[in-house]
Amino acid sequence: MCGEMVDFRRNRDIISAMKSTESHLCFEGVPVRVRFSARRRRIGLAVERQTVLLLLPEGFSMRNAEILLHDHQNLIQRLLRQDRQVSVMESPLDFRIGGRLPLLGEEYEIRLETTPGKRPRFDGVCFRVTAADPAGIRRQILLIYRQLAADVINDRVEALAARHGISYGTVKINSASSRWGSCSAAGNLNFSWKLVLCPEPLLEYVVAHELAHRRQMNHSSRFWQEVEQLCPAYRLRRKLIREEARRLRSWRELS
């Protein structure tokens, strides 16, 4: 079992597996769909909508399937957490008092600020706004998001650049919807504030991607080697952030 090659991917290719038979298990309270395929040579493991999908070659026993799940329970828990973070992006934006909005992979409630003189802000627990109508709340929330993006992204750029000895120019936050970030020939970095709507590991990948351009202003194999040095898990994060981009483009409330 341990000597078999395991292909751990979380993408649509796994979910839409070829012709197969399917059985069901429950692993530590989590539903598991087990698919057997005569054409499969590798073991596949994925998570979608808080359900584990285990893809196995034909002839693989259910007993060994249970052993496999147990041996990889830490990975399964990590994939379940990632799936919960990504599912936040699938929720509609609710610009009302009591509504919940995404921030770095978590959801936070919108609350009305009743203390005189207080400004709209995120206090680490919730979004606090002074407007009560959805249009006013939306305007204030977008300003809060933009300020949070400036703070978080500047911190991540500064820390990662210092750790790897990378120089850069200015860091600017924009409202781009077509790209997450960019790096100019002069070394200036631009990032979309909408990155704070993503789970934090994906924001960190974009920061690493743009800083890698300070050493390679292209997308050659050397560039991706630089990215890997800055963000070893970049391959998975690169796939996930493409999914986030598709969702964000469908959210008219952000324009």
pLDDT tens per residue across span 139-184:
999 999 999 999 999 999 999 999 999 999 999 999 887 789 999 9
Q: What is the domain range of residue 202? A: 137-254
Q: Is residue 117 over pLDDT 70?
A: yes
Indicate whether 108 belongs to any domain: no
Q: Go through 41-72 and write b for each residue having 16 or more CB atoms within 10 A of its CB, e for each that does not.
A: eebbbbbbeeebbbbbeeebeeeebeebbeeb
Residue 184 confidence (pLDDT): 94
Indicate whether 23 belongs to any domain: yes
C-beta separation of 47 from 33 below 8 A? no
- Where do we find the tokens 């041996």? 71
Number of independent structural domains in the chain: 2
Indicate whether 166 belongs to any domain: yes
Residues 153 and 221 in one domain: yes
Which of 87, 104, 121 is the C-terminal boundary of a domain?
87
For the chain, give the percent of residues with pLDDT over 70.
84
Residues 74 and 165 in one domain: no
Q: What share of residues in the chain are helix, strand, coil (percent, to 5)?
A: 40, 25, 35
Indicate whether 92 belongs to any domain: no
Which of 72, 87, 102 is the C-terminal boundary of a domain?
87
What is the rounded average pLDDT of the residues 237-253? 74
Q: Is residue 133 over pLDDT 50?
A: yes
CA-to-CA dists, residue 26 to 23, 106, 167, 178, angstroms: 11, 26, 50, 41
Q: How far is CA 173 from the centre of its chain?
A: 19
Residues 67 and 152 in one domain: no
C-beta separation of 33 from 50 below 8 A? no
Residues 83 and 148 in one domain: no
Cut 0.85: pTM above it: no
Indicate whether 36 belongs to any domain: yes
Please tell me which residue, 101 or 2, carries the higher pLDDT value. 101
Residues 63 and 143 in one domain: no
